[in-house]
Amino acid sequence: MSAGGLLLIIIAALIIFGPNKLPELGRVVGRTFKEFKDATQGIMEDEPPTNKAESPKPAAMVQESAKVEERRLPE
């Protein structure tokens, strides 16, 4: 996006929303981006590590996965 395109968007926003509503609109957009960033960060922290050599499975997780396999229907 060039400077001309950005200027065109700013002028269109001023015409559509008016100078009094733009600060409020900016705050709402900023809060939305912050909430989105926090939510994606939370999802990234919840993911298990991909390298199995770095963090071995606890015994409880191994037993749980064995129980899941036992419940499968025979093929």
Give pLDDT tens digits for 43-74: 877 666 666 555 555 555 555 555 555 555 56
pLDDT number for residue 34: 93
Question: CA end-to-end span of the chain, whole Å?
Answer: 56
CA dihedral 61, 65, 66, 67 (to 10 degrees): 100
Residue 32 has pLDDT above 90, yes or no: yes
Percent of the chain with pLDDT over 70: 60
Contact (CB, 8 A) for 49 and 55 = yes
| pLDDT at 71 (0 to 100) | 58
Sequence-separated (6 or more) residues with CB below 8 Å from residue 65: 57
pLDDT band per the 50, 70, 90 thresholds, residue 19: confident
